[in-house]
Each structure stands twice: as structure tokens, then as C-alpha cells.
Amino acid sequence: MDRVLESDSLRASVSKTGSVLVPTMGALHEGHLTLVRLGKSEALRRDCKLVVSIFVNPDQFNDPADLQRYPRPIERDLGLLEAEGVDIAFTPAVEDVYPDDQPDAAPQPAVPEVGRLPGLEDAFRPGHFQGVCRVVSRLFDLCQPVAAVFGEKDWQQTRVVAAMCRQQARMTEILVGPTVREADGLAMSSRNQHLGPEQREHAGALWRSFQEAIKETDRAVAESRMRRVLTDAGFAVEYATIRDAETLMPSKDPTDQPLRMLAAGVVGGVRLLDNAPWRA
């Protein structure tokens, strides 16, 4: 595996072969590695290189404390990627992705409606999807991947990135890998390590709220059930809702399909989010 730190070297390494890209912020866990494996089989099938980027993008954090305490175990991450048969670990510095160390100076691509209108991550993390669109555009410009892999865990993000690619007429195919969960259903996340033992137990309510909601036949009842499970477990709920799975807008027509349950909230000072299909 090659470790590449500079965008010029990255461009040179993939220009002839083409690439499949898995963008991450590091602190890798089994969820990331599942995406890496999906990327690997795609890269083999398309006979091109598998690039995994590790870049903690300051531009998509709206909370400076969250950015500050974001874990960065780089040597461990590189070992994990090597073991998965990754061709290139791209680990740029901020100034390499954003000249002059200024994300604001880089072009800001238009954020598609699904990243502005639903009132979900867009509302609770202002500026987040601007940052995501900017860094994904930048990474895609650098390595022109034939395909890129994103996690279902961040469902709204997958819809935003796919819509942005359509807007920009990019050839990159957006692939979505499944969410990997702990034994109690909590989606793996690098932020889980900030949970104390008691809070960790309560965090399982996120998955449980979906299991409870799916038992209901009425959508409004299901939503209040989700919210109830979360508040009972001590969550400060930001949203707990069932939406059109593509536009993420509320859908009035009960026959609309597919639909998605989405929830986010804060427990013990840690913000968690998750989603699952509604009556798939």
C-alpha cells in the first residue's frame, strides 16, 4: 500500500488506472472497513486502484470542540487499510486540500435541495452539507473516481452526494454500503467512544426506537413512539421522523414508498444519528 500525502502525487498515481474512492475521516472501525471491502471488490471488478482517503475536514464541523476531540489514530488506521488490500491511503494535510489552509477560498458547489430543505441534518448542523459538498467535490476532482462508496449510516449524506453528482454531471457512481452495528444495534461511530458506560447503554435506544416504530401501522403514531423511546432513554431528541427515502421530505401520501425512519439526538453530550427503512 502506498501512503500519499499530496494531491499532485495522488493524481499521478491514479490518472492511468482510474480509481474507486472511499472517503473517511479516519478512526476506522468495522463500519468503514465494510465500505473498504465493497470498494475493493469494485476496484477489482473495474480493474482500477482502491483509494481510501483519511481527512478530518474542518469545514464540515459546526462545533469546534467536536473537531478538536475528533480521534486521529493514523498509524493504526494505516495498518487496518494495509490489511484490507487498499492500494493507496490518501492522507492530505488541510493546506493540500484547501490551498492557503482556507476552505472558504475553495469553490463552494451548490448544495442540492435534499441537503437544504428537509430540516434534518441540514437544520441541526448548519453549514455541514456545504462542507461535505465542498470536500467531496474536491476529492472527486483530485482522483476522478469511477465509483465512490458512502455509508448508509449517513443516509441524508448519501442522497446529497448523489444529487450533487447529478447536478455536476459527474461520471462517478455513488455506491452505498450497509450500516455495521454493535450487538445492541447501536451503529458504529468514532463518536461512540465518548460515551460513558451508562450513556452507552442508553444509546441503544436509537435502534430500539426503530424496532418499536416498525410495529405500528400508523405513521404519526410510529413517529411519536420513536420519540418516546428516545426521551425515556435520556436523549435530547433533535428529530425522529419518517420521510420519503429519496427527497427526505415529509410525504403525505400513505402509499408513497420507499420511506425511511431517521432520528438524531444528544445523549451524555454526544450527538448520535441513525436511520432504517420503514416497512421495506
To the nearest 10°, report the CA torsion of 72, 51, 61, 135: 150
Q: Catalytic: 128?
A: no
- The contacts of residue 160 (CB under 8 Å, 6+ apart) are 111, 112, 114, 115, 129, 132, 133
Contacts 24+ apart (CB under 8 A), 75-84: 76/28, 77/26, 77/27, 77/28, 78/1, 78/3, 80/28, 80/33, 81/1, 81/28, 81/36, 81/52, 82/1, 84/33, 84/36, 84/37, 84/40
Q: Does 34 bind ligand AMP (CB under 6 A)?
A: yes
The region of 29-37, 64-72, 138-146, 259-267 touching ligand AMP under the rule CB under 6 A is 29-37
Q: Which of 187, 213, 261, 267 binds ligand AMP (CB under 6 A)?
A: 187
Q: Which of 154, 223, 238, 244 binds ligand AMP (CB under 6 A)?
A: 154
Closer to ligand AMP at the Cβ: 180 or 219? 180
Q: Does 177 bind ligand AMP (CB under 6 A)?
A: yes
Name the active-site residue from 32, 128, 194, 202: 32
Q: Does 237 bind ligand AMP (CB under 6 A)?
A: no
Question: What span, in angstroms and rounded, lies between the C-alpha atoms of 227 and 244?
Answer: 18
From the CB of 34, what's the least distance to ligand AMP, in Å?
A: 6
Of 184, 180, 190, the C-alpha closest to 37 is 180
Task: Report the phi/psi class of residue 70: left, alpha or beta, with left for phi > 0 and alpha for psi in -120 to 50.
Answer: beta
Q: Does 74 bind ligand AMP (CB under 6 A)?
A: no
Closer to ligand AMP at the Cβ: 122 or 223? 122
- The contacts of residue 59 (CB under 8 Å, 6+ apart) are 98, 103, 130, 131, 134, 135
From the CB of 176, what's the least distance to ligand AMP, in Å?
A: 8
Q: Does 275 bind ligand AMP (CB under 6 A)?
A: no
The region of 64-72, 133-141, 147-155, 167-175 touching ligand AMP under the rule CB under 6 A is 147-155
The region of 120-128, 138-146, 164-172, 177-185 touching ligand AMP under the rule CB under 6 A is 177-185
Q: Does 155 bind ligand AMP (CB under 6 A)?
A: no
Number of residues near ligand AMP (by CB under 6 A): 16
Q: Does 39 bind ligand AMP (CB under 6 A)?
A: no
* Residues forming the active site: 32
The residue ranges that bind ligand AMP (CB under 6 A) are 24-25, 31-32, 34-35, 150-151, 153-154, 177, 179-180, 187-189
